[in-house]
Amino acid sequence: TKERNKNDYQVFKKSLTEGFKERLHLETELHKALKNKDFELYFQPQIDIKQDEIIGLEALCRWNHIDKGIIPPNQFIPLAEQTGLIVELGDWVIREACRQNKMWQDMGFPKVKVSVNLSAKQFLQRDLVSNIAEILANTGLESEYLELEITESMAMTNEKYIIETLKGFQTLGVNVALDDFGTGYSSLKYLSQFPLSKLKIDRLFIQNRTEQNIAIVKTIIHLSHSLNLKVIAEGVENEEDLMFLNNENCDEVQGFYFSKPLPVSEVNGFFNKKLS
Ligand code: C2E
Ligand code: CA
Ligand code: CA
Ligand code: CA
């Protein structure tokens, strides 16, 4: 068994080194990609159920890799977060989302919000609020057409500082939505203290409608409305999902039923298409 353990250790050591090399390689590539602007934003429409019209677009980042093709965010955002590269990447995402949204408005499309995901590291940057003010000024996008999505886990880290930052956004006129709501350590205390404008129900609850999850969705919708918040559900994939949320009085929906995240060239078509 001694020999066996030694072998196991060798295998372990090897995979560890390889994992490390791969990580290092990916990190170097991320650096290069940032320099070369190899990232692209896709946009997923958000629909107001009652008006039956598009009211927002969530910006979702993709990495266009020369050999590997399009790499989805869950394969590079965590690494970007760990290495701190997310700050630079995130800055690019906000700027690009605002620039693009302003361009659509200038082209005469209906004015909608663009929603941008913020990472924890980004959110803790001291100059985030002034950075965003600068981006809005530079792109010419009015603040009401930018929305930021943060997650509960980010809200937990440094309460006082978070509230300060959120108030900064409020002063700027930029709305903040709490993303993936229900999956983290939701605390009602935060909901009443944080200046938020929207709760976003995680798609987990929409796609797996157990009795319990249905109860959770209903509760989140009620809670949002009694706190004067809008509520949006993600992961709406079919008509049943939509009917369920419509019956429960959800305000907005997002999901494959209406549209996948689209490259810029295809958003134009979506604007022109009638929804129903
Ligand atoms: P998220 O913020 O929860 O974004 C929603 C994800 O759900 C997107 O995946 C979207 O494509 C997917 N989705 C939308 N509708 C449906 C549906 O009906 N069914 C299913 N099964 N999925 C749906 P995506 O684009 O792969 O993004 C994954 C995550 O990566 C995002 O989750 C977000 O946390 C992160 N992310 C993406 N772009 C950025 C970014 O620019 N910055 C940061 N910090 N994170 C980002
Ligand atoms: Ca999001
Ligand atoms: Ca989400
Ligand atoms: Ca999610």
Cα dihedral 110, 265, 44, 140 sign: negative
- In this prediction, residue 182 carries a pLDDT of 85
Instruction: Look at ligand 1, atom 20, and give the residue with the nearest C-alpha.
Output: 235
Cβ within 8 Å of residue 12, ≥6 positions away: none
Compute the distance between CA of residue 275 and CA of residue 254 in angstroms, rounded to an integer. Answer: 13
CA 181 to chain centre: 12
Higher pLDDT, 155 or 225: 225
- In this prediction, residue 8 carries a pLDDT of 65
- In this prediction, residue 96 carries a pLDDT of 98
Residues in contact with ligand 1 by the CB-under-6-Å rule are: 44, 60-61, 72-74, 77, 90, 93, 117, 119, 179-180, 203, 234-237, 254-256, 261
- In this prediction, residue 109 carries a pLDDT of 94
What is the complex's ipTM, to 2 decimals? 0.97
What is the tens place of the pLDDT at every residue in 19-70?
777 777 888 899 999 999 999 999 999 999 999 999 999 999 999 988 889 9
Secondary structure class of 99 (helix, strand, coil): helix
What is the tens place of the pLDDT at every residue in 177-200?
999 998 877 677 778 889 999 999
Cβ within 8 Å of residue 74, ≥6 positions away: none
Confidence of residue 90 (pLDDT cuts 50, 70, 90): very high
Expressed in angstroms and rounded, the spacing between residue 202 Cα and the centre of ligand 3 is 6
* This prediction's pTM: 0.92
What is the chain's mean pLDDT, rounded? Answer: 91
Q: What ranges in the chain are assigned the alpha helix state H?
A: 2-36, 77-83, 86-106, 120-123, 128-139, 152-157, 159-172, 188-193, 203-207, 211-226, 239-247, 264-272
Mutate to test the pocket of ligand 1, among 83, 117, 239, 258 (most ligand atoms within 8 A of CB): 117
Q: Tokens 């939505």 identify what position?
A: 177
pLDDT (average), residues 202-206:
96
Residues belonging to the chain: 276
Cβ within 8 Å of residue 135, ≥6 positions away: 91, 94, 95, 98
What is the tens place of the pLDDT at every residue in 145-156?
999 999 887 767
Secondary structure class of 194 (helix, strand, coil): coil
What is the tens place of the pLDDT at every residue in 44-55?
999 999 999 999
